[in-house]
Amino acid sequence: MERERGSIIQNIDWITIAIYLTLAIMGWFAICGASHSYIESSFLEFLNPEDRSGKQAIWMGISIFIGIILLCFDKRIYKDWAYIIYVFFIIVGIVTIFVSRDIKGSHSWLTIGRFSLQPAEFMKFATTLTLASYMSRYGFDINKKQDLLASIGLFILPMLVIISQRETGSALVYLAFFIVLYREGMSGIVLLTAISSIIYFVVGIRFSDVLINDVGVSMGHYAVLVLIQIFSLAMVKFWCKNDNTFLTLALVNIIGTLGAYWIAVYLISFNIIVFQYLLITFTVIYLLLKIRLAKEKRNLYAALFIIGSLIFYASCDHVMHHVLRDHQRIRIEVLLGLKDDLSNAGYNVHQSKIAIGSGGVTGKGFLKGTQTKLKYVPEQDTDFIFCTIGEEQGFIGSATVLFLFAVFILRIMQLAERQNDRFGRVYGYSLASIFFFHFTINIGMVLGIMPVIGIPLPFFSYGGSSFLGFSILLFSFLRVDADRKQRA
Amino acid sequence: MATNNFNIEKRKYILGAAVLLVLIVYTSRLFDLQVLSDEYKSKADSNAFYKKTIYPARGLMYDRKGRLLVYNQPAYDITFIPREIKKVDTLELCKALNITREEFDNRMKSIRKSRGYSSYTEQPFMTRLSSEEFAPFREKMYRFPGFYISKRSIRQYTYGAAGVLFGDIGEVSQKKIDKDPYYTRGDYIGIQGLEASYEEVLRGVKGTEMLLRDAYGRIQGNYMNGAFDTLPITGKNLTLGLDIELQQLGEELLKNKIGSIVAIEPSTGEILCMVSSPSYDPRLLTGRQRGENHKILSQDKLKPLMNRAVMGTYPPGSTFKTSQALTFLQEGIITSNTHFPCHGGFRYNKFKLGCHAHGSPLSLFPAIATSCNAYFCWGLVRMFSSDKYKNVQEAMNIWRDYMVSMGFGYRLGIDIPGEARGMIPNANYYGKHYGNYWNAVTVISISIGQGEVTLTPLQIANLSATIANRGTFITPHLVSSIEGDTLPRIYREPRKTMAERAAYEDIVKGMRQAVLEGTCRGADIPGIEVCGKTGTAQNKGKDHSAFIGFAPMNNPQIAVAVYVENGGFGATYGVPIGALIMEKYLNDTLSVESLEKARSIGEKRIYYGEGER
Q: Which of A360, A376, A417 sits opposite B47 (nearest CB)?
A: A376
Closest residue in A to B36 (Cα–Cα): A360
Closest residue in A to B20 (Cα–Cα): A406
Determine the average pLDDT of the residues in B140-162.
83
Q: How far is the C-alpha of B7 from the C-alpha of B25, rounded, in Å?
A: 27
Q: Which residues of B touch A180 (CB under 8 A)?
A: none
Angle at B51 between CA B45 and CA B57, to 5 degrees: 165
Confidence of residue B3 (pLDDT cuts 50, 70, 90): very low
**What 8-state DSSP symbol labels residue B525?**
B
Q: What is the pLDDT of residue B311?
A: 93
Confidence of residue B264 (pLDDT cuts 50, 70, 90): very high
The pLDDT of residue A250 is above 50:
yes
Q: Which residues of B touch A413 (CB under 8 A)?
A: 12, 15-16, 19
Residue A216 gets the label, from left (phi > 0), alpha (psi -120 to 50) or beta, of left
Confidence of residue A413 (pLDDT cuts 50, 70, 90): very high
Q: Which residues of A touch B39 (CB under 8 A)?
A: 357
Closest residue in B to A359 (Cα–Cα): B34
> Hey, how many other C-beta atoms are within 10 angstroms of the C-beta on B116?
7
A327, A345 Cβ separation under 8 angstroms: yes
Q: How far is the C-alpha of B135 from the C-alpha of B442, rounded, in Å?
A: 70
Best residue in B6, B33, B211 to probe A by mutation, most A CBs within 10 Å? B33
Q: Highest-confidence range of A462-471, B8-17, B291-300, by mean pLDDT?
A: A462-471
A384, A377 Cβ separation under 8 angstroms: yes
| Record: contact B44-A449, CB cut-off 8 A | no
| Record: contact A356-B22, CB cut-off 8 A | no
The maximal CA–CA distance of chain B, rounded, in angstroms, is 147
| Record: contact A361-B25, CB cut-off 8 A | no
Closest residue in B to A450 (Cα–Cα): B26
Q: Which of A38, A440, A449 sits opposite B29 (nearest CB)?
A: A449
Q: Which of A357, A375, A410 sits opposite B40 (nearest CB)?
A: A357
Q: Percentage of chain A surpassing pLDDT 90?
A: 33
The pLDDT of residue A2 is above 50:
no
Min CA distance, A25 vs chain B (Å)? 21
| Record: contact A355-B44, CB cut-off 8 A | yes
Best residue in A358, A373, A417 to probe B by mutation, most B CBs within 10 Å? A358
Residues of B with CB under 8 A from a CB of A: 4, 8, 11-12, 15-16, 18-20, 22-23, 25-27, 29-31, 33-35, 37, 39-41, 43-45, 47-49, 212-216, 220-221, 223
**Average pLDDT over chain B, rounded to whole?**
87
Q: Which residues of B touch A359 (CB under 8 A)?
A: 34
Best residue in A141, A354, A443 to probe B by mutation, most B CBs within 10 Å? A354
The maximal CA–CA distance of chain A, rounded, in angstroms, is 86
The pLDDT of residue A125 is above 80:
yes
Q: How far is the C-alpha of B188 from the C-alpha of B195, rounded, in Å?
A: 11
Determine the average pLDDT of the residues in B162-191.
85
Which domains are seen in chain B, by residue range? 50-67+158-240 (3.90.1310.10), 79-157 (no CATH), 244-279+307-603 (3.40.710.10)
Task: Say how many CA atoms lie within 13 Å of A243 toward its Cβ.
Answer: 0
The pLDDT of residue A451 is above 80:
no
Least confident of A147-151, B184-188, B456-460: B184-188
Q: Which residues of A touch B47 (CB under 8 A)?
A: 351, 354, 370-371, 374, 376
Interface predicted TM-score (ipTM): 0.84
Q: Which of A391, A395, A417 sits opposite B31 (nearest CB)?
A: A395
| Record: contact A390-B44, CB cut-off 8 A | no
| Record: contact B19-A361, CB cut-off 8 A | no
Confidence of residue A59 (pLDDT cuts 50, 70, 90): very high
Q: Which of B26, B34, B223 sits opposite A357 (nearest CB)?
A: B34
Best residue in B3, B5, B15 to probe A by mutation, most A CBs within 10 Å? B15
The pLDDT of residue B323 is above 90:
yes
Q: What number of residues does chain A have?
A: 488
Confidence of residue A486 (pLDDT cuts 50, 70, 90): low
Determine the average pLDDT of the residues in A379-404.
91
Confidence of residue A79 (pLDDT cuts 50, 70, 90): confident
Closest residue in B to A415 (Cα–Cα): B12
Q: Which residues of B touch A406 (CB under 8 A)?
A: 19-20, 22-23
B550, B558 Cβ separation under 8 angstroms: yes
Active site residue ranges of B: 318
How confident is the model over B424-468, as pLDDT tens digits? 998 899 988 888 888 888 888 999 999 899 999 999 999 999 999
Q: What is the pLDDT of residue A488?
A: 42
The pLDDT of residue B13 is above 70:
yes
How confident is the model over B499-542, as pLDDT tens digits? 999 999 999 999 999 999 888 888 888 889 999 999 988 888 88
Q: Which of B8, B19, B31 sits opposite A185 (nearest CB)?
A: B8
Q: What is the pLDDT of residue B227?
A: 73
B179's enclosing H/E stretch is: helix B174-179
Q: Considering only residues B132 and A471, tell me which one the structure prediction assigns the higher pLDDT.
A: A471
Q: What is the pLDDT of residue B10?
A: 84
Confidence of residue B154 (pLDDT cuts 50, 70, 90): confident
Q: Which residues of A touch B19 (CB under 8 A)?
A: 406, 409-410, 413, 436
B364, B336 Cβ separation under 8 angstroms: yes
Q: What is the pLDDT of residue B181?
A: 82
**Mind spelling out the 3-state secondary structure of chain A?**
CHHHHHHHHHHCCHHHHHHHHHHHHHHHHHHHHHHCCCCCCCHHHHHCCCCHHHHHHHHHHHHHHHHHHHHHCCHHHHHHHHHHHHHHHHHHHHHHHHHCCCECCECCCEEECCEEECHHHHHHHHHHHHHHHHHCCCCCCCCCHHHHHHHHHHHHHHHHHHHHCCCHHHHHHHHHHHHHHHHCCCCHHHHHHHHHHHHHHHHHHHCCCCECCCCCCEHHHHHHHHHHHHHHHHHHHHHHCCHHHHHHHHHHHHHHHHHHHHHHHHHCCCCHHHHHHHHHHHHHHHHHHHHHHHCCCCHHHHHHHHHHHHHHHHHHHHHHHHHCCHHHHHHHHHHCCCCCCCCCHHHHHHHHHHHHHCCCCCCCCCCCCHHHHCCCCCCCCCCCHHHHHHHHHHHHHHHHHHHHHHHHHHHHHHHHHCCCCHHHHHHHHHHHHHHHHHHHHHHHHHCCCCCCCCCCCCCCCCCHHHHHHHHHHHHHHHHHHHCHHHHC
Q: Which residues of B touch A439 (CB under 8 A)?
A: 22
Q: Which of B15, B40, B44 sits opposite A370 (nearest CB)?
A: B44
Closest residue in B to A394 (Cα–Cα): B34
Least confident of A345-359, B42-56, B530-544: B42-56
Q: Considering only residues A322 and A284, tell me which one the structure prediction assigns the higher pLDDT.
A: A284
Which residues fall within 8 angstroms of residue A356, CB to CB, at 6 or more apart? A386, A387, A390, A391, A398, A446, A447, B30, B33, B34, B40
Which residues fall within 8 angstroms of residue A359, CB to CB, at 6 or more apart? A369, A390, A391, A392, A393, A394, A395, A397, A398, B34
Q: Which residues of B touch A182 (CB under 8 A)?
A: 11, 15
| Record: contact A449-B30, CB cut-off 8 A | no
How confident is the model over A272-320, as pLDDT tens digits? 888 899 999 999 998 888 888 877 777 788 888 888 888 888 888 777 7
Q: Is B505 exposed, middle or buried (0-12, 13-18, 19+ CB in 10 A)?
A: middle
